[in-house]
Amino acid sequence: MKNRFLFPLVLTGLVCIISLPGCKKQLPSPPENWEEKMDNLKIPDGFNYTSTKEATIEVIMPFTVDYTDLRSRVNILTAPEAQGGELINSGSVNSAGRYVATVTIPGYLEQVFVQTAIGSAWVSLGGIKSTARILEGGVNFGDGYDTIPPPDTTESTKTISSGYPVIGHSSAKWVQTDNLITNGTFDLDDFVGFSDWSSPMSLNQKWYYTSSFQNVFSRYDDNGNYCARVKLLSGGGRSGGIAQLIEASPGDEITLTAAFKHLNGSNGNNKAWLYIIPRNAAGSSIDYFDYEIPNVNNISDWNDFIISATMPAGTVTVQILLWQWIFAGEHYWDNVVVTGPVTDTDGDGVNDEEDEYPNDATRAYNVFYPGAGAFSTLAFEDNWPSKADYDFNDLVLDYQFRQVTNAANALVDLYAKIVIRAIGASFENGFGFEMDLEPALINNVTGISITEGYISLLANNAEAGQTKGTIIVTDNAFTQLVPPGGGTGVNTTPGAPYVTPDTMEIAISFTQPVTIAQAGSPPYNPFLIVNKERGREVHLPDNPPTSLANQQLFGTFDDDSNPATGKYYKTASNLPWALNIAGEFDYPAEEIVIIQAYLFFANWAESAGVTHTNWYLDIAGNRDSQYIYSH
């Protein structure tokens, strides 16, 4: 609240103006009337100022793996970890090997990265399907899989598929390190020739190569790295492979990963496959599981490829086979890794290497929003229902939520880090958030700050009198961020003493696991409570009030809320009193209108969020730094 507030404490506001003559900042004073320019923006009806969008991602795992009891993990990230990507979602596939998640991501992202134990891939997001900005994308890790014997060069029903290379697979923290294959890096030169892939093999920890590859297959020194090379020495074409036999049992999930590249010649008939072939006690093939590497001629640098399958009844051994056709150039293989049975200590169906709670059957994953190492920002104006001054710094806080889910992807615990960064106000404002579930489903809440006597709590520390579970984080943010004197509030006036932001850690347990649909999605329905007046809430635009809000304030002064149409907390010209920013927001200094500081905010808002979706990022041309608070 700045010293221009008119409702309902007019006198208090006048006292503030008179008593704080030294609170003005020495900032440039442009001739434009920025508040009038803000009022004159042409904001489309229905725009809710979200800087995020929702994307529904479907992940399909290979049909060759039996997921009846196995709860294999899927991670969704903003980018690969090696590129600084943030983990934004984790969960288990269902018994059909499917995983569907709706994730909230920054509006400027055009793709997300999906990581599983059997492959990783970028997923491009489709176009906006509705005004709700719901997008969709998917990946089928079973593409390229088949169940036929290795084809020869004259007869094949296969076509080159659009399979997915394993991007960053080796960095996945749950990848099993025990390699069932020997000499997977081809550092040893102890190969054995045999007639064909179907010929008998021994469990002697050696690689076998087919007779068709005599003088074609060799161990090769690739700039100090030993690998296997198949080089065509004369005209015509060859089909053949290299193989190794390992032990296995029925029900084992056998996963084969191999690095591949092709150099020095292109031919449309060049192909390559990864094979897993289970064999019975007599050595006969029981089944065939294969993955065809797509577009082999275009793979000029090492790429990892993968296949995974559940071994059928009768399995005693498994033949690991790298099969190929070569008509021109050279095929290279390296880093062959084969993993087998997994350990599931707590018996929840999630193997220990994927389970973040391997000794607790009631918990499996940590799901972060906006990311495991990231925060987003809420920025409020507290003058509602009177018009704001649009510097969006009356209360500025960062948040990060950690949802603890079980193997069935239900919510077990919820943890929130709330970092109170700035209070550009004299009002003593509170902050809370409303979840979609019933208050009785909340077992206990810890970490909140209730000191002012106007908040009533249930025995579980959720707020009393609410139809939905509501958590009051603090009833007076000045308790966490004490004014140092000088300037308005805390950390909004340049040159005034700086106060280190305060981090609150909220923990919420539930009486039983609840679905994400029951609980809602972070940041849920956050709101500010104005000056300890419990009924006077400020929510994000078009977010509804809680049960304790005074709805008689709707439509008064500058508010144009209309519950009948779902319009909440916006003016007649559709300006908001709160913003949710998909990242840590550098907020404007005191009394600086946001369009002064952020040069594309107006374009973004007037386009209903279609253009300049990264308006708040610190990149060239986006902002005028002299108007942004810095200490």
Q: For residue 133, what pLDDT is reported?
A: 52
**pLDDT confidence of residue 631:** 87
Quickly list H helices, 399-469: none
- Which residues lie closer than 8 Å to 471 by C-beta, 6 or more apart? 432, 433, 434, 435, 445, 448, 462, 463, 506, 508
What distance lies between CA 407 and its chain's CA centroid? 18
Q: Which residues of the chain have pLDDT under 50?
A: 3-27, 31, 129-132, 154-176
- Side-chain-side CA neighbours of 229 within 13 Å: the count stands at 18
- Domain range annotation of the chain: 10-49+363-627, 52-140, 177-339
Question: What pLDDT shows up at residue 253?
Answer: 94
- Tell me the C-alpha distance between 335 and 342, whole Å: 21
Query: What is the per-residue pLDDT across 173-199, written as a single tens digit (0 to 9) for each?
Result: 344 468 999 999 999 999 999 999 999
pLDDT at 128: 52
User: What per-residue confidence (pLDDT) applies to 156?
Assistant: 38
Bridge partners, residue 285, by sequence:
279
pLDDT of the residue at 88: 94
pLDDT of residue 233: 78
pLDDT of residue 469: 98
Report how far residue 13's alpha carbon sits from residue 2's, in angstroms, rounded to the nearest whole number.
8
Domain 177-339 superfamily per CATH: Galactose-binding domain-like (2.60.120.260)
CA dihedral 234, 235, 236, 241 (to 10 degrees): 20
- Per-residue pLDDT tens digits for 442-460: 999 999 999 999 999 999 9
pLDDT, tens digit (0-9, with 9 covering 90-100), for 389-418 = 999 999 999 999 999 999 999 999 999 999
The span from the CA of 101 to the CA of 408, in Å, is 13
Q: Report the greatest alpha carbon distance in the chain.
A: 98
DSSP string, 511-554: EEEE-HHHH--TT-EEEEEGGG-TT-EEESTTPPP-TTS-GGGT
CATH, range 52-140: 2.60.40
- Per-position b or e across 581-590, b if 16+ CB within 10 A of its CB: bbbbbbbbbb
